[in-house]
Amino acid sequence: MLLVGLTVLTNEGMARVRKDKAPTIADALYNSLYLESVCQREAGHLAAQYELLNQALKLNPNAPEAVFDMAACVSQGNVMDEETVTELFDKAVKLTKGRNPYYLETYAEYLTYRQMFERAVPIWEKLTNDENKRENAYRMLVTCYDRLGRNEDMLHVLETWTKVEGGSEYVEVMRMKTLNRLGRYNEAITIADKLAEENPSNEYYAAARAESLLESGDTAQAGQEARKLKEKYPQSPSVQVLLIHYLNETKQRDQMLQAVADVILNDDQEMGLRTSMMQSLMSDVRSPEEEKQVVQVFDSLMTQPLEDASLPELYIHYLVSKHAPDSAYMPAMRRMIDIDPSDNSARLMMVQDALNRKDYGETITQCREGIRYNPQNLICYHIGGGALYQEKRYEESLVLFKQGLPFVKDTKELETVSNFYSSYADALHETGHRDEAYALYDSALVYNPVNTVALNNYAYFLSLDGIRLDYAREMSSKVLEIEPNNPTYIDTYAWILFLNKDYNEALSYIDKALEKVNDEPGDGSLYEHAGDIYYHLDKRTEALRFWRKAETLGGGSEMLSKKIKNQRYYEQ
């Protein structure tokens, strides 16, 4: 009962007692719905508040407290467009005849936040008459006039504010800046001198004085004061910016570029300014020497402690514009990961770089970290499991693939799912789980029927197991239609032909594979297959030479050493 009494007192228009009419059932129901909407608002349940206010307004569409609360509620989301929200605020203000300062202030803040400055100005002007709202109203009026570029109006507000409430450092600084914009430099300098005298340890005001001199065209005096300040306060953000303006104004480009670099590398500077300066530096490169300077600045940045990813991101965009090699991105990517370990895009770039270098240990580490911060990311299970497979850590590989299975259903990229199933199948087959492996290859091909890795590996393992050779040949043939120049895929097809005892045809394909292979470590299986095919065509000398090459490269079967020793073929 106490809550009802307080609500009646603090919410204008609610449950108003009429002298000529007793409250109706509809009034009671409205009160109940509105009270519950207030409770839901305080609990942070905006959706529930919205529904309750909707029902309440059907009973009493002109209740100002419900209209206002609805406006405030929908202003926090995208339920209604801006015009409808402003109409609701307007209605609440009109229903209270503009006498509720809280309604006015909330409405004006909404308009200002939405950059509807012209509409906000009259409301803020009205609120300057309310001593409880006056200071905020003046401050927001300054913001609106500033954004509208109405400098005369802005100066008038600042002067009125000073008369009504007395001066303040903030007001004086804004007056100084506005006077500069209006070209009234002597008045701005007078204010800067006064502020510098009152704040002798704050170099900002001395820098502001020099800025006014520079704006007025007195570059000689401005330069003299800027150099003195630079000697005394070399790391001061305001002094560094002043120096850039002076050097730019006097066309001292080389020194100006170095001054810009000093700002960018100054971690006392505000990050937004450092980023904008970096963008300016990048966009105004005029020679190879200046381009080197940009890279040097970025390189120095990458060694600094950074808590914001803006500059590393900018470096990446710069590298993209210069078509830099993938390896050039890694320092920036590492910094982005340091700043935000959950940055999935940067993490995947790190994973891809390690994979490109065949650094499977680093690939596994990056994938495990990626899973730690984004456990639903199927790509990290796929690549991490595949890297473990490459390192012959087959049981660990199976564990990681199994951990990724629950996230298949949440992955929208069909190709990612197909690749995951294909790599999982490789590990299953290697560990003797052949039926499960073949089932997963089938699943991989459902999600991507032209997954060449799945098609090739499925065909190759079927051939090793000596089963379904026609199906294996069909899949391998399909792979060659898609990628006819891949020596691994050509080798698979040649091997299947060999198992079908089609030795002459197998020879033509294995010779094609030999022409394209790069003789990298692990390519031994291809040379072993070549030896087997040549042996069955009674070319024993060539067969022995290929088997020995296979032994050198590695990757051959367990029977390879026996073939070489006895100079004859043995089934694998």
With contact defined as beta carbons under 8 Å apart, do 457 and 425 qualify? yes
The residue with greater pLDDT, 525 or 11, is 525
Is residue 131 one of the residues assigned to a domain? Answer: no
Report the chain's C-alpha Rg in angstroms. 37
Is residue 73 one of the residues assigned to a domain? Answer: yes
Over 80: is that where the pLDDT of 37 sits? yes
Give me the pLDDT at residue 21, please: 57
Q: How confident is the model at residue 12 (pLDDT cuts 50, 70, 90)?
A: very low
**The pair of three-digit structure tokens given for residue 446, joined into one six-digit string:** 């459902």
Give me the pLDDT at residue 19, please: 44
Mean per-residue pLDDT, 262-275:
87
Q: Which amino acid, 27? A: D
Give me the pLDDT at residue 476, please: 94
DSSP per residue, 404-445: HGGGSTT---HHHHHHHHHHHHHHHHHTT-HHHHHHHHHHHH
Give me the pLDDT at residue 22, please: 63
Is residue 287 one of the residues assigned to a domain? Answer: no
pLDDT digits (tens, 9 = 90+) for 480-514: 999 999 999 999 999 999 999 999 999 999 999 99
Over 70: is that where the pLDDT of 11 sits? no
- DSSP class of residue 328 equals G
Over 60: is that where the pLDDT of 80 sits? yes
Q: What is the end-to-end Cα distance of the chain in Å, rounded? A: 89
Over 70: is that where the pLDDT of 3 sits? no
Give me the pLDDT at residue 320, please: 85
CA distance 70 to 548: 83
CB proximity list for 407: less than 8 A, separation 6 or greater: 375, 376, 377, 378, 381
CB proximity list for 372: less than 8 A, separation 6 or greater: 341
The residue with greater pLDDT, 1 or 197, is 197
Averaged pLDDT of the chain? 90
pTM over 0.75: no
Is residue 26 one of the residues assigned to a domain? Answer: yes
With contact defined as beta carbons under 8 Å apart, do 120 and 144 qualify? yes
Give me the pLDDT at residue 15, please: 40
Mean per-residue pLDDT, 431-460:
95
Q: Which amino acid, 58? A: K
Mean per-residue pLDDT, 116-126:
96
Ramachandran bin of 381, using left for φ above 0, alpha for ψ from -120 to 50, beta for the remaining angles = alpha
Is residue 90 one of the residues assigned to a domain? Answer: yes
With contact defined as beta carbons under 8 Å apart, do 485 and 516 qualify? yes
Residue 34 sits in a domain whose CATH number is: 1.25.40.10
Beta strand extents in 185-225 (DSSP E only)? none
Give me the pLDDT at residue 281, please: 84
CA distance 266 to 490: 57
CB proximity list for 323: less than 8 A, separation 6 or greater: none
35-44, 128-137, 365-374, 552-561: which range is least confident on average?
A: 552-561
Per the structure, the count of domains in the chain is: 1
Closest CA to 71 of 51, 94, 95, 87: 87
With contact defined as beta carbons under 8 Å apart, do 508 and 498 qualify? no
With contact defined as beta carbons under 8 Å apart, do 416 and 382 qualify? yes
Percent of the chain with pLDDT over 70: 96
Q: Please report, to the nearest 10 degrees, the dihedral formed by the alpha carbons of residues 41, 46, 52, 56 taken in order.
A: 70
Mean per-residue pLDDT, 310-320:
87
CA distance 109 to 117: 10
Q: How confident is the model at residue 306 (pLDDT cuts 50, 70, 90)?
A: confident
pLDDT digits (tens, 9 = 90+) for 375-401: 999 999 999 999 999 999 999 999 999
Please count the other Cβ atoms lying within 10 Å of the Cβ belonging to residue 497.
23
Is residue 71 one of the residues assigned to a domain? Answer: yes
Give me the pLDDT at residue 7, please: 30
Name the strand (E) or helix (H) holding 79: none
Is residue 85 one of the residues assigned to a domain? Answer: yes
Q: At CA 547, angle to CA 541 and CA 552, rounded to 5? A: 130
**Domain hosting residue 35, numbered range:** 1-99
Over 50: is that where the pLDDT of 428 sits? yes
Give me the pLDDT at residue 18, please: 39
Is residue 420 one of the residues assigned to a domain? Answer: no
Give me the pLDDT at residue 519, please: 82
